[in-house]
Chains A and B, each alone.
Chain A
Amino acid sequence: MVDSIIAAASVIAAAVAVGFAGIGPGIGQGNAAGQAVEGIARQPEAEGKIRGTLLLSLAFMESLTIYGLVVALSVLFANPFTG
């Protein structure tokens, strides 16, 4: 009985962790990509530099989502609360 409650709570917790972790970085990445496109449109000769910086910063934002994913994975596969 307790185990099944823990299992249900873990699944919901994993879903909430990944879902909420996706919101902020999504907004941030959208902003960054939009600004980069604007920059390229204004200054097409700087495309290479802008692309490099954009990819690097996108990966940094991506890592915030990944933290949520790590929490979700550890809740699903390495749950510390199951006996």
Chain B
Amino acid sequence: MYTFLLSKIEVGSHLYINFSDSLHLHGETVIVSSLVVLVVSLFLILSTSNLQRVPGTLQNLGEIIYDLVKSIAITQMGPSYYSQFLPFVATIFLFVLGSNLAGALIPWKLFEIPSGELAAPTNDINTTACLAILTSLSYFSAGLKIKGIGYFKRYIKPAPFFLPLNIVEDFTKPLSLNFRLFGNVVADELTVTVICSLVPLIIPLPIMMLGLFASSLQALIFATLAAAYIGEVIE
């Protein structure tokens, strides 16, 4: 592989953890995403362990996030079904938000690892593909659970000749979810890296702020779309 870029940008180099010849993990993604899972779970446990009538700081933050996710779920899925799928939407939202913020806020460049570099887990297309496939599976199972076998009637609506389009849509939905999240995160990081290699002082700061904003927006969008896809099949 050859690169065209003048600055030092590492694309496609990973810290491989090999299990066998064909099975290996991207070490830096595994490290950072387990860290994110740990931090998010710790936050949730701490914020809900000692519930009070007048909430403290942590509980307040937890309640804000709960209200946000609940409003997303209610607007997309309606008030009668949302509670079954709220945990899934909330999990997606918190994981994506946590990993995007981890990539944007923590100076990973300070930690040296043998190859590759630590970054947001959503910087790796495997993570986003996994999230997208999970969304896909969950709306299939939601449709089958709530509508039973009548779920497949959806494929011949509004007319039978829409069948191929509806089938293709099942593949393009996870594909676009996947590329949207991955592309946005990678675009943020590449922009910051390129501008840092041109002007390392002050100028990258507004771009970084924009990246911080955009990455939290992406979490909101991923959760909204997941909820919308589920809501579409159960309505």
Binding site for B on A (CB under 8 A): 7, 11, 55-56, 59-60, 62-63, 66-67, 69-70, 73, 76-79, 82
Contact = CB atoms under 8 A, between A and B. Distances in A.
Interface in B1-53: 1-4, 11-12
Given A62-B184, A77-B3, A56 B221 contact: yes
B179 A67 contact: yes
B4 A69 contact: no
Contacts of B4: 7, 11, 76
A73 B217 contact: no
A55 to B, nearest CB: 6
Nearest to A70: B183
18 contacts: A7-B4, A56-B217, A56-B220, A59-B218, A63-B179, A63-B183, A66-B180, A66-B184, A66-B187, A67-B176, A67-B180, A69-B186, A70-B179, A70-B182, A73-B186, A77-B12, A78-B1, A82-B1
Nearest to B182: A70
Interface in B194-235: 214, 217-218, 220-221, 224
Nearest to B5: A76
Interface residues of B, number: 21
Given A70-B182, A76-B4, A77-B12, A55 B217 contact: yes
A39 to B, nearest CB: 19
Contacts, number: 51
Contacts of B187: 66, 69
B1 A77 contact: yes
Contacts of B190: 73
Nearest to B178: A70
Contacts of A78: 1, 11-12
B2 A63 contact: no
A52 B179 CA distance: 23
B221 A59 contact: yes
A64 B110 CA distance: 34
A1 B214 CA distance: 42
A42 to B, nearest CB: 24
